[in-house]
Amino acid sequence: MKYVSLRKDNQGFTLAEMLLSLSFVMMLLTLSPLFLSLLLLPPDNQTISRNEARIFLNQLVHEANESVDINFHHHKLSLRKGDGTLVTYEYIQGERIRRQVNQKGQEMVLFGVGSFQCNPTASFTTCTITDLKGQSFQRQLAPFYKLGVQGADADV
């Protein structure tokens, strides 16, 4: 039986083949610390970072500024905008906060949440989120138009 070789001579690798394989190995070695850090460090799902909390609370403030009415009842913050759009932020017992617009869709905006509370007063609403390790973040919300305090949690 005759063997067929694609090479005309079997004298070794060419310089181009060696450089190609060396560059491939160097790319793998360069990226290996990133992959190792992902594999060796377990994710910390019990804490909310300061930046995550700041982004979430800034989004709440922005939407509250556009709202006409703010209500909080049973772990659910409802913001009614001037155009009639209803935006809700709801704490789900699976340690996350869900955002919905007009009771449609399901956008998870924050994970690792232990509690979500809002306390309305006559002029503003104070919202507090607490992570699973007890670290709290707080922000005051006030609509540009008026503040409607309704529901069972209104007299807090």
> What's the mean per-residue pLDDT of the chain?
79
For 148, phi then psi, to 5°, come to -95, 115
**41 vs 39, residue with greater confidence:** 39
**44 vs 68, residue with greater confidence:** 68
Global pTM reads: 0.62
Neighbours of 147 (CB within 10 A): 19
Domain boundaries, the chain: 50-155
Residue with tokens 């390790």: 133
